[in-house]
Amino acid sequence: MALPQPIPMPKPGNGDAKKTRWDRVQEMDEFRLLLLAKKEFVIPATITFVVYYFALPVLVGYAPELMDRKVLGPVNLAYLFALSQFFVAWGIAFAYVRAARTFDKYGAHILSTLKKEGFDDSTTGKEGL
Amino acid sequence: MDMTLLLFLGFIVITLGITAWASRRSGSSASFFAANRSITAWQNGVAVAGDYMSAASFLGIAGLIAFFGYDGFMYSVGWLVAYLTVLLVVAEPLRNAGKYTMADVLAYRLNPRPVRAMASLSTLVVSTFYMIAQMVGAGALVALLLKGSHISFTMAVTGVGVLMIVYVVFGGMLATTWVQIIKAMLLMAGTILLSVLVLAHFHFSLSEFFTAVSQVSYHAPDGKLVVKDFLTPGLRFKPPYGPLELISLGLALIFGTAGLPHILVRFYTVPDAKTARYSVVWAMVIIGSFYIMTTFLGFGAATIVGRDFIAKNGGTNMSAPLLAKVMAGDVFFAFISAIAFATILAVVAGLTISASTSFAHDFWTNVIKSGKVRSQGEERFVARIAAFVVGAVAIAIAIILGPTANVAFLVALAFAVAASANLPVIVFSIYWKRFNTTGAVCGLAAGLVASIVLILIGPSVMGIDAASVAAAVRHPIQAAPIFPLENPGILSIPIGFAGALLGTLLGEKDPHAVQRFEELEVRANTGLGSEKAVAH
């Protein structure tokens, strides 16, 4: 078990003597791009699944006749809509895993840049964590 | 000896063996609290599924579908979709920024003592109430499944309680994880077998199956034989409040799952955020398949066993075991009963470890001792004591409540608190720069109080019973409910978010929290500085 370590010491050759590894990442273009890429996927995906999911109880609750319409032999719209929720959820999860490959690439690039510049990757940092 | 009892004992022996194996590897805090962060993606995915699929899902939802058809199936949907919140919003930042508990993420940038104290309180409330609900259910169920073997409710509750304490105290997170994995695999095996048997009954024809489902006959309470289309919505959730109840339940599931402490701690057992992500996907595959198969379990019980027979032989919760009995005889009944037993044990063990970890790590180490414990071993020691105390309290309360107590509202309460108190502060502390300590404390307090109060004044606790209703199932407060819904989410979740928002805006600006946010943002998104797996 590693003991909590102090905030990394200023590294020689970094110009700004007080700059921490956190500050360094914050100013990298890749980090901005990573946050942007995440936002561009996560916000629309979240809105999609929340809207699609709540459409089910709203329609079942307030338009029961519509939802009870038989569409496939004895099977009604309500059951098929509920069943589709599972496949939509799986679809969004797999889409996220695909999108996250890009996030991982940015992340790996950021960490390797840091390493080249002499910052460490040790576990920190805050007392009591 | 009774076959069911024999299978119960078999499961106990195997899990105790795992506990003995794990106890030799639980010598450090990282191993006791986080299984050395060495659990793989599929293992953790199965364990998350195991933690989540409680007896309430296996027996409860199958029973609800058997009795109320489509409305019961509505429950199934939310349990899977909820994992998208976990996947997209919470799992990876949590793994990157924290160490053992949910509160780690909050304490990262906020004033640790008040925030941890509140978060720990909320964790204990969620875990203990959920645990009591499970234990009462477990006791009643075990006594019912082992009918004729002289095992009483009190013995069953004590047995389940003692076992869960043993797993956690001696085996820590490693033993708990493997108990979950075994249980989840057994549960899936049993569910698949039952589903295949049901389909075989209908000659593997879905159209024959759904035709039977669309004309289920049973006797109504007034003694008349009725035939109902079980795919029609509205058999349970009736106007005026039915639709709102469904939406409120959905909100509690979608936002509550990502705030359940015993699910969140699971993401600390894997080596990194990427593994955490894949483990959520594994969990979603398993949980989704399971809940789709509740179609066959529930509708199968409704069509093959029949509502009348189930009502006479133990009630809704016995639907799945009775289906097994009717389809394949006593041995299969024993197998399904043993799975139900394993399910309960695994879930209560998961709850015990999350409650005791939060008490030891958040409350003892960081609130009472201000982060300065004498040795690493002290935190583990306190966690073991806490597991013992939490377990003993849950056993005592479950025995006092007795087997007929209506405890469903405790589950609703656990999800409501997770959604209204925990989730808003987790989301704000990861994504909102301006968020501060006042906001976190106000959000946690508002969500917690709103959930508890709305349940207390709702129809689970308040209601007027006829004089003929038995004492144990009477509403504790004999008056008309003030709040009309059993699930308070629709109101308590906005209150939780509003509390966090207003607290932040009214509280003092905290430049330290803003500065630490920059650090947290880097850490949560890149994994820089996160806790590493321990090689062994």
Helix axes B319-357, B112-145, angle to 10 degrees: 150
Of the pLDDT bands very low, low, confident and very high (cuts 50, 70, 90), residue A1 is very low
Whole-angstrom CA distances from A118 to A123, B486, B521 are 16, 57, 21
**Cβ contact (<8 Å) for A61 and B274?**
no
Q: Is A12 domain-assigned?
A: no
Which residues of chain B neighbour A129 with C-beta distances below 8 Å?
Answer: 98-99, 104, 107-108
Q: Does B28 touch chain A (CB under 8 A)?
A: yes
Q: Does B278 touch chain A (CB under 8 A)?
A: yes
**Extended strands (E) in B320-431:** none
Owning domain of residue A57: 22-116
pLDDT digits (tens, 9 = 90+) for A20-56: 888 888 888 889 999 999 999 999 999 999 999 999 9
Of the pLDDT bands very low, low, confident and very high (cuts 50, 70, 90), residue A10 is very low
Checking if the pLDDT of B505 tops 70, the result is: yes
- A 80-119 near B (Cβ less than 8 A): 82-83, 85-86, 89-90, 92-94, 96-97, 100, 103-104, 107, 110-111, 114
Interface test with A, best of B519, B521, B523, B534 (most A CBs within 10 A): B519
Whole-angstrom CA distances from B231 to A64, B73, B219, B483 are 11, 9, 18, 30
Which residues of chain A neighbour B95 with C-beta distances below 8 Å?
Answer: none
Which residues of chain A neighbour B522 with C-beta distances below 8 Å?
Answer: 21-22, 25-26, 31
Phi/psi for B227 (5° steps) reads -120, 125
Interface test with A, best of B28, B29, B76, B81 (most A CBs within 10 A): B81
Q: Does B170 touch chain A (CB under 8 A)?
A: no
Mean pLDDT, residues B176-186 taken together: 92
Pick the CATH number of B3-23+41-526 from 3.40.50.2300, 3.40.50.300, 3.10.129.10, 1.20.1730.10: 1.20.1730.10
Checking if the pLDDT of A128 tops 60, the result is: no
pLDDT digits (tens, 9 = 90+) for B317-369: 888 888 998 988 888 888 888 888 888 888 899 999 999 999 988 888 888 88
Q: How many CB pairs under 8 A join A and B?
A: 173
Q: How many CB atoms lie within 10 A of CB A65?
A: 6
pLDDT digits (tens, 9 = 90+) for B11-20: 999 999 999 9
Of A60, A103, A104, the CB nearest to B246: A60
Q: Which pLDDT score is estimated for B331? A: 86
Checking if the pLDDT of B468 tops 50, the result is: yes
Burial class (CB in 10 A: 0-12, 13-18, 19+), B354: buried
Of the pLDDT bands very low, low, confident and very high (cuts 50, 70, 90), residue A11 is very low
Q: Which pLDDT score is estimated for B217? A: 86
Of the pLDDT bands very low, low, confident and very high (cuts 50, 70, 90), residue B384 is very high
Chain B residue with minimal CA distance to A99? B88
Contact by Cβ (8 Å): A77, A55: no
CA distance B348 to B127: 9
Q: Does A50 touch chain B (CB under 8 A)?
A: yes
The minimum CA-CA distance between B365 and chain A, rounded to whole Å, is 8
Of the pLDDT bands very low, low, confident and very high (cuts 50, 70, 90), residue B535 is low
Helices and strands in chain A, H and E counts = 4, 2
Least confident of B34-48, B294-308, B463-477: B463-477
DSSP assigned state of B462? B
Checking if the pLDDT of B142 tops 90, the result is: no
Of the pLDDT bands very low, low, confident and very high (cuts 50, 70, 90), residue A116 is confident
Burial class (CB in 10 A: 0-12, 13-18, 19+), B235: middle
Chain B residue with minimal CA distance to A8? B529
Q: Which pLDDT score is estimated for A18? A: 63
Of the pLDDT bands very low, low, confident and very high (cuts 50, 70, 90), residue B155 is confident
pTM for this structure?
0.90
Q: Does A51 touch chain B (CB under 8 A)?
A: no
Q: Is A91 domain-assigned?
A: yes
**Cβ contact (<8 Å) for A75 and B210?**
yes
Mean pLDDT, residues A54-80 taken together: 91
pLDDT digits (tens, 9 = 90+) for B224-244: 888 888 998 888 888 788 889
Classified as helix, coil or strand, A11 is coil
Chain A residue with minimal CA distance to B71? A60
Average pLDDT, chain B: 89
Which residues of chain A neighbour B87 with C-beta distances below 8 Å?
Answer: 93, 96
In 3D space, the residue among B122, B123, B118, B115 whose CA is nearest the CA of residue B437 turns out to be: B115
Checking if the pLDDT of A13 tops 60, the result is: no
Which residues of chain A neighbour B234 with C-beta distances below 8 Å?
Answer: 64
In 3D space, the residue among B26, B29, B11, B25 whose CA is nearest the CA of residue B380 turns out to be: B29
Q: How many CB atoms lie within 10 A of CB A51?
A: 10
Q: How many domains does chain A have?
A: 1
Checking if the pLDDT of B192 tops 70, the result is: yes
**Cβ contact (<8 Å) for B87 and A22?**
no
The minimum CA-CA distance between B108 and chain A, rounded to whole Å, is 7
Phi/psi for B481 (5° steps) reads -60, 140
Q: Is A13 domain-assigned?
A: no
Q: Does A54 touch chain B (CB under 8 A)?
A: yes
Q: Which pLDDT score is estimated for B536? A: 53
Chain B residue with minimal CA distance to A24? B522
**Cβ contact (<8 Å) for A79 and B73?**
yes
More confident residue, B59 or B269: B269
Which residues of chain B neighbour A7 with C-beta distances below 8 Å?
Answer: none
pLDDT digits (tens, 9 = 90+) for B94-124: 999 988 999 999 998 998 899 999 999 999 9
Q: Which pLDDT score is estimated for B1? A: 53
Q: Is A44 domain-assigned?
A: yes
In 3D space, the residue among B234, B233, B257, B244 whose CA is nearest the CA of residue B483 turns out to be: B244
Checking if the pLDDT of B74 tops 60, the result is: yes
Burial class (CB in 10 A: 0-12, 13-18, 19+), B25: middle
pLDDT digits (tens, 9 = 90+) for B403-440: 777 777 888 889 999 999 999 999 999 999 999 999 99
